[in-house]
Amino acid sequence: MTHQIRLNSLAFVETGLIAFKIRAMRLYKEKYDNFTDYCHIELGRSRSYIDRLINASRVILELIENGFSVLPRNESQARLLSCFTGSELIWRWRAIVETIVPHKITAQNISAFLNGTEETIEPESEFFWLPRYLSDHIFRYALAIGMTTQNFIVMLLEQIFKPAKPKTNWRDFEKEDEWQSDLEKLIEEGKNIIDST
């Protein structure tokens, strides 16, 4: 049942793809002069709504093609990203997924992130690209322990680059022993001088 719910929540993708095919191949021409009439009469929807559905579907497909396993969960979330394509879409979605905990990815939070009311990360100053397989591994490990990717990487780096314990230099101990021995001799000589007076 859970699988069915997840599948149905992405039904808009299939609907958008079918609408795109009808529009691109002009299959509506059999009955209608234009796509707008087809949308209004056959689908009972506005042309702008169907266009938004098509664009939201494109977003989902592009994210899937680029290896994302965390996707927008509904049409309203995907629609917010439809003004981006290619590397800009990939960068924005990766930033969202790495900044917002997956169960808190909502249309409202995506909108806040894209509009800059959430703390954003500028790609020129804060991002570096990793091979997708490596990035996906890091993301999955971080997600498994409930951390953001950034915090997970920081944790790893702190473990790797812990300040090393100073190396023991045995010569220092030998010098300290010599110093201690000399100090004891001086104390003994001082006692002898005091006793002789």
pLDDT digits (tens, 9 = 90+) for 152-164: 888 888 888 877 6
- The reply to whether 117 and 92 lie within a common domain is yes
In a domain, 192, yes or no: no
Percent with pLDDT over 70 in the chain: 81
Residue 71, pLDDT score: 92
In a domain, 169, yes or no: no
- The reply to whether 34 and 101 lie within a common domain is yes
Q: Which of 6-15, 17-26, 30-39, 92-101 shows the lowest per-residue confidence on average (mean pLDDT)?
A: 6-15
- What distance in Å separates the CA atoms of residue 35 and residue 140, rounded to the nearest whole number? 43
Residue 124, pLDDT score: 39
- The reply to whether 6 and 61 lie within a common domain is yes
Domain of 156, in residue numbers: 130-164
Q: How many residues does the chain have?
A: 197
Residue 78, pLDDT score: 95
- Provide the pLDDT confidence category of residue 165 given band limits of 50, 70 and 90: low
- The reply to whether 105 and 140 lie within a common domain is no
In a domain, 176, yes or no: no
What is the reported pTM? 0.58
In a domain, 183, yes or no: no
Residue 107, pLDDT score: 93
In a domain, 171, yes or no: no
- The reply to whether 136 and 124 lie within a common domain is no
Query: Side-chain half-sphere of 58: how many Cα atoms within 13 Å?
Result: 18
Please tell me the total count of domains within the chain.
2
Residue 53, pLDDT score: 95
- Provide the pLDDT confidence category of residue 123 given band limits of 50, 70 and 90: very low
In a domain, 181, yes or no: no
- Provide the pLDDT confidence category of residue 43 given band limits of 50, 70 and 90: very high
